[in-house]
Amino acid sequence: MTAPAASPTVSRRTALGALAGAAAAFTIVNPRAVRGDDANRKLTLGVVGLGGRGAWIAGLFQKHGGYQIAAVADYFQPVADAAGERFGVPANRRFSGLSGYRKVIDAKVDAVVLETPPCFFPAHVKAAVAAGCHVYMAKPVAVDVPGCLAVLAAAKTAASKGKTFLIDFQTRTDPYFQEAMRLVHDGVLGPVSMMSSAYTDEGHDDPPKRPTIEDRLQRNVWGTDHELGGGPLVTAGIHAIDISLWAAGRLPVSAMGIGTRGRKNPQVDAHDCFSLSYDYGAGLIHNHRGEHVKNLHGFACSLQVFGQDAVMEGAYDGKTWVHGVNKSYKGGMVVGLYQAGAERNIATFHKSVLAGDASNPTVEPSVNAALACILGREAAFRGAKLTWAEMMKEQKRYEADLTGLRE
């Protein structure tokens, strides 16, 4: 995911690549054999993508205590080596280049953690699942509709094999949000006709293009590109769109709106400022405001749900509560969710793997959130109303140009 600007020390994952096998000394756990104290046994782990967020989240896995980082990979060898030194991974288990992930998967680690630019997720996920690995991945799951559907298909295959597949959204792990959303779904707000969401941050760099895209695979630059990261709405605004879908309990029928480029000297076409309107049918509309420009405004992610009897307000970094005519929920301040949510997901992943739990409840909502962002992106880019059905039928692809990159 995109690190909220409120967490300036944490940058996005930047690299591609691969993992390789676990050392023989590491314990490989058979989930079906877990009993009692076995819940404390370690899973061998490979981390693919060791840029800012990749290295950061690898540290959280290590901190958890239930994992042994057995291999690391990044498109850039110095990045892989730095991570390897930090996590005690032998030099011969640090990989780089585009195709390193095949070596990792062939080595049969218990689980892979995917923190690369999203354009690589569909291929990496498919290979990991085919080899029988558990999967923990960042979001967005892909940059286009075909990629989203490929990840969904791979996740279904993982479930059929009894493998855990977790997509790392943080907001849905928060107790205040969970209770507020329960009240929304229980009808405390009364009939809901309007939702309003917002997401602002300091955006991503957009340097002049070079002969290859290698320099756009680091320092969050890829987040600006449709082909590499999906663009700012898909890469970052997805947090606000996800909680909007959570509140609505259904998918939008259509979207329309406008977008523009507010950053200095834009090099690619992706918009970084959005004003969108989603129609969910049955009288429910949703407006979204997105702004991703380096102007010191900073990070904010919020949702308001307006019903006849009450209003629910939630913030990724702020108060989440319900205030109404007949019933209210005082909620509380959501603080440190970026790390706390990831830590909760890492703990859930460990428990699920050891318990053989392949229910994988994060998959469908995460895929739907990516698709809803793609719907808004495409509607704004075209300046025309676009229905969900039209988007799914069209199956528009965004292909990254990998010419000149190292295999």
* Tens digits of residue pLDDT in 216-226: 999 899 999 99
What pLDDT does residue 11 have?
35
What pLDDT does residue 40 have?
66
> In order of start, what are the domains of the chain with their CATH numbers?
171-335+363-394 (3.30.360.10)
Looking at the predicted structure, is the pLDDT value of residue 159 above 70? yes
Give this prediction's pTM.
0.90
Determine what percent of the chain is predicted with pLDDT higher than 70.
90
Give the orientation angle of helix 238-248 with respect to helix 175-185, to 10 degrees.
40
* Tens digits of residue pLDDT in 36-79: 445 567 999 999 999 999 999 999 999 999 999 999 999 999 99
What pLDDT does residue 392 have?
98
Give the orientation angle of helix 363-382 with respect to helix 238-248, to 10 degrees.
110
Looking at the predicted structure, is the pLDDT value of residue 291 above 90? yes
Q: Please report which confidence band the pLDDT of residue 104 belongs to, taking 50, 70 and 90 as the band edges.
A: confident
Q: How far apart are CA 159 and CA 70, in angstroms?
A: 24
What pLDDT does residue 105 have?
84
Give the orientation angle of helix 145-160 with respect to helix 121-130, to 10 degrees.
20
Chain-wide mean pLDDT for the chain?
Answer: 90
Looking at the predicted structure, is the pLDDT value of residue 20 above 60? no
What pLDDT does residue 39 have?
59
Q: How far apart are CA 256 and CA 274, in angstroms?
A: 10
Looking at the predicted structure, is the pLDDT value of residue 192 above 80? yes
Mean pLDDT of 98-109: 85
What pLDDT does residue 103 have?
83
What pLDDT does residue 345 have?
98
Q: Which residues contact residue 346 at a Cβ distance below 8 angstroms, ignoring those fewer than 6 apart?
A: 57, 60, 61, 64, 136
Looking at the predicted structure, is the pLDDT value of residue 314 above 90? yes
